[in-house]
Structure 1
Amino acid sequence: MSANQPINALDGAVKAKRISSIDMMRGAVMLIMLLDHVRERFYLHMQVSDPMDLNTTSWELFISRFAAHFCAPIFVFLTGVSAWLYANRNPLQPRSAREFLVKRGLFLIGLEIVVINISWMGNYHTLWLQVIWVIGLSMLTLAALINLPRPIMALLGFAIVFGHNLLTPIQFMPNEWGYSLWTILHDRGYLIADGVLKVKISYPALPWMGVILLGYAAGPIFSKSSIANKRQRQLLQLGIGCLVLFIILRGGNIYGETLPWQMGNNLGETLMSVFNLTKYPPSLSFLLITLGVMFIGLVGFERLNNQFGQVLMTFGSVPMFFYILHLYVLLLVYSISKYVFGANHGELLGVDNMAWVWLIALSLIALLYYPVKRFSAYKQASQQAWIKYL
């Protein structure tokens, strides 16, 4: 998207600012994701369930994990937006994004299998199909539906996002017909539970397909013909609407979450119960709160013009490069640390509290910033097609 040529200086300025806000949002969630992955490396002895067990989860662990909830919804939604921007680079000559989506979708699935999976544990005993896999699969779904009228696509996206919680009672046993397809679409579990290589679906795909459809349908909000004030007003309306609907549905335990919230011994415990949401697959409440905050955040980032915004934009400009880089750096740092200090929690090496997790994450942000910045500059200057995939 950053390679698009503006029609005139005014359009170029508006477009750059708009795309910058998207890159800032991506950069922000990438840094939050880094924090969560540091937790999974150095705080795994205090692993959390989904939803979290509030009897064993501390408030600082809860907040860190809840912050990580924003990463996948924002990336999937903005992937849909980016596909619309690609298809409508020239408003006078729109083009199909199908080839764009198919190539990148297959590329992401291949990366998940070949490159990313081994970065988690340093071995290949289990193939974990996680967020990169589900983004790739969602892109392929969008490619298949790309010729639908945009209003129909929006209605389909809404139907999936708002209706998939009704499918929760449907379950299949591993030996039943339909188990594999349902595991891919809705129920987290093993596709292959035995043998040399096990395969587990960590991110059921159906709700994410709905999210990417909604992102594509929302693409015109970010059109270069869109007036900034109008766009910001639309985003605020979407954000406030999502949050109000979350308050109504979640506050009354009406619909949209499989685990009802309960009153705790104090306000903090009650709030933790309210925001203890299902991620696998993402419940309607999960998507309302995360996407609602994203819409409002995009307005804030569009108005942000300082060094902090530039840092976020740098990380967000090459998200796949940063994703792969930070996973392997974490694997290397953890392996060296375990070799030097030894395991202190069974077979794991871990720190004693979340403050250390935050400190390690901040150190890695500083360490990785300049490689990311250099690669971002290289990507912008490069004419090689493959480099754009990162």
Structure 2
Amino acid sequence: MQPNPISRERVYSIDVLRGLVMIIMALDHVRDFFHQPAFTSDPLDPQTSYPALYFTRWVTHFCAPLFVLLSGMSVQLMSTRKSKAEMSRFLLTRGLWLILIEITVVSFGLTFNPLMNVMVLQVIWAIGISFVALSLLVFLPWQAVLALGLLITFGHNILDFRESQPGFKASPLWTFAHSAQFSFFPLFPGHGVLVIYPFLPWTGIMLMGYGIGRIFMPDVTVQKRKQGLVTTGLAMIGIFFILRAVNVYGDPRPWQPFTTLQQTVFSFMNVAKYPPSLMYTCITVGPGLLALAAFEHARGRFAQICRVYGSVPFFYYILHFYAIHLLCMILFFVHGYGVNDIVDPNVPFLFRPNDFGYSLGVVYLIWIALVAALYKPCKWYSEYKRTHRQWWLSYL
């Protein structure tokens, strides 16, 4: 069998999967802004949640790790058209650019706070800082980068034992690297940084993506690639169920049996995202690799739609946050709230009081309408990027 041709610009299955997870991602953010109890209850609490709500939150677990993993794969594909030195410079500058965008454009889109009191570090920051790290590591063989990614992903939960000891107090570096769980760092009076995504485990996922991306190089046949993706995906899912059943290592939140099977399943599957535990990574990345194999020949209408979103991920990401928050602001006034309600001390977003919102069914309708509304802008920008070669397009 001859090696299959791989586009030097984009890989179809990667774009389809990326687009799918970004569609799902919007569901979680719509839920944050429009589901009434989003800030008063945990949708994954086995004792209070119900199947529809639990699934709505849990399915979005796939988004961030696959977004980061696919970013690492895209860097590997870049090696077919750039030298190591060129890749390093690009990753460094784009990583710093993404961090800047996170603390300015994205943070404002989340909060709509013109004073910028809180700068939020989440997935764009995680990708940016991981790009900075990878800018130094691209000079190593890809096997070494993959090994380092696996070491971080499978080993970082050892730090949980240290963090759980009585009297442990994390240093700022430790918090930024691993233990941050919505940790706030004051910078100067009235302003600070909210760290949601500590960088170490996310960088591990990025490095794994870079190593796994080798399977998409032109000298790898379709059959070998699909076999590798399926084998690795099934192995990660198997590791999840084995280690999760043992209930000793891989997640700082052990599961426990409840009086009902539903609650017990909820507890078993309720793995830690902040930071992403080994269990969280295995049960999201594993199925993601299976999906990559399945999307190898997917050419239906839905796959084509996903591909459009996945070909312009940064554009979609920024646009969807502003669209969600703008709609929230409009409905805020439609429902009779006034200027005195714009700021709620219990919610970090302006124009989103704690008692504002709708049922879960309405949330789904808003989500579908939002994603549909973003299709044409994304399709236009995807075509623009395909037909233009300005240097700055690589940063957007």
TM-score with structure 2 setting the length: 0.89
> Is 2:360 aligned against 1:371?
no
Shift of 1:100: 1.9
Q: Does 1:79 align with 2:71?
A: yes
Equivalent-residue separation in structure 2 for 1:283 and 1:201 (angstroms): 17
Distance 1:252 1:178 in 2: 28
Q: CA RMSD in A?
A: 2.6
SS in 2 for 1:70: helix
1:211 pairs with one of 193, 198, 205? 205
SS class of match (1:198)? strand
Secondary structure of the residue aligned to 2:193 is strand
Instruction: Pick from 1, 4, 14 the counterpart of residue 22 of structure 1.
Output: 14
Give yes or no for contact 1:83–1:216 (8 Å, CA) kept in 2. Answer: yes
Of 240-249 and 53-62, deviating more is 53-62
Q: 1:145 aligns with which of 137, 147, 150?
A: 137
Task: Determine whether 1:389 maps to 2:395.
Answer: yes
Question: Deviation of residue 264 (structure 1)?
Answer: 2.8
Q: Which residue of 19, 29, 35 corresponds with 1:37? A: 29
Length, aligned pairs only: 377
**Distance across 2 between alignment mates of 1:119 and 1:94:** 35
Matched, 1:197 2:203: no
- Counterpart of 2:95 in structure 1 is 105
Residues 10 and 150 of structure 1: CA distance in aligned 2, closer, same or farther (over 3 Å): closer
Cα deviation for residue 352 of structure 1 reads 3.6
2:157 aligned counterpart, secondary structure: helix
Judged with a 3 Å threshold, the aligned counterparts in structure 2 of structure 1 residues 217 and 51 are, in CA distance, closer, same or farther, namely farther
1:255 and 1:168 mapped to 2: Cα distance?
Answer: 9
Q: Is the 8 A contact 2:3 2:221 kept in 1?
A: no
One-letter amino acid matched to 2:106: I
Correspondence for 1:360: 366
Could you tell me whether the CA contact under 8 Å between 2:201 and 2:276 is conserved in 1?
Answer: yes
Aligned to 1:129: 121
Deviations 1:269-307 (A, max 9, x none): 222111101001001000000000110000111121111
Task: Say if 1:16 and 1:213 are closer, same or farther in 2 by CA, change over 3 A.
Answer: closer
Query: CA, structure 1 residues 151+387, in 2 after alignment: closer, same or farther (shift >3 Å)?
Result: closer
**SS at 1:168 equivalent:** helix
Partner residue, 1:237: 231
Contact 1:162 1:284 in 2 (8 A): yes
Contact 1:51–1:279 (8 Å) recurs in 2: no
Ranges in structure 2 where 5+ consecutive residues have no aligned partner: 345-352
Find the partner of 2:275 among 255, 275, 281: 281
Structure 1 pair 114/356, CA: closer, same or farther in 2 (3 Å)?
same
Letter in 1 for 2:393: I
Aligned residue identity for 1:277:
V
Deviations 1:1-31 (A, max 9, x none): xxxxxxxx9854x448981100001000100
Q: CA deviation at 1:356?
A: 1.2
1:72 shift after superposition: 1.1
Distance (Å, rounded) in 2 between the aligned partners of 1:118 and 1:44 = 22
Paired position in structure 2 for 1:6: none
Give the 5 Å matches for 1:238-317. Answer: 238-317=232-311
Find the residue that maps to 2:185 and give its secondary structure. strand
Q: In the alignment, is the contact (CA less than 8 A) between 1:88 and 1:94 conserved in 2? A: no
Provide the residue aligned with 1:340 in structure 2. 334
Distance 1:364 1:141, change over 3 A: same
- Structure 1 residues 269 and 194, CA, compared in 2 at 3 Å: closer, same or farther? farther
Residue 155 of structure 2: which of 156, 163, 167 is its match? 163
Q: Secondary structure at the match of 2:194?
A: strand
Q: Distance in 2 between matches of 1:364 and 1:300?
A: 27
| Structure 2 residue aligned with 1:323 | 317
2-structure distance, mates of 1:50, 1:182: 26
Mind listing any 5+ residue stretches in structure 1 that lack a counterpart? Answer: 1-8
Task: Identify the range of structure 1 (94-103 vs 104-113) with the bigger mean alpha-carbon deviation.
Answer: 94-103
Percentage of matched positions with identical amino acids:
39
Deviation of the 1:95 alpha carbon: 6.3
1:46 alignment partner, one of 38, 41, 56: 38
Q: Structure 1 residues 177, 63: CA separation in 2 closer, same or farther (over 3 Å shift)?
A: closer
**How far is 1:218 from its partner?**
1.3
Alignment-mate amino acid for residue 263 of structure 2: E
2:347 maps to which residue? none
Distance in 2 separating the partners of 1:268 and 1:350: 29
Moved over 4 A (4+): 9-12, 48-51, 93-96, 343-346
- Cα distance in structure 1, aligned partners of 2:383 and 2:150: 38
Q: CA deviation at 1:214?
A: 1.1
Q: Specify the alignment match of 1:5 in structure 2.
A: none
For residues 98 and 19 of structure 1, do their structure 2 counterparts lie closer, same or farther at Cα, with a shift above 3 Å needed? same
Change in 2 beyond 3 A, CA 1:98/1:128: same
**Helix, strand or coil for the counterpart of 1:200?**
strand
- 1:126 maps to a residue whose letter is V
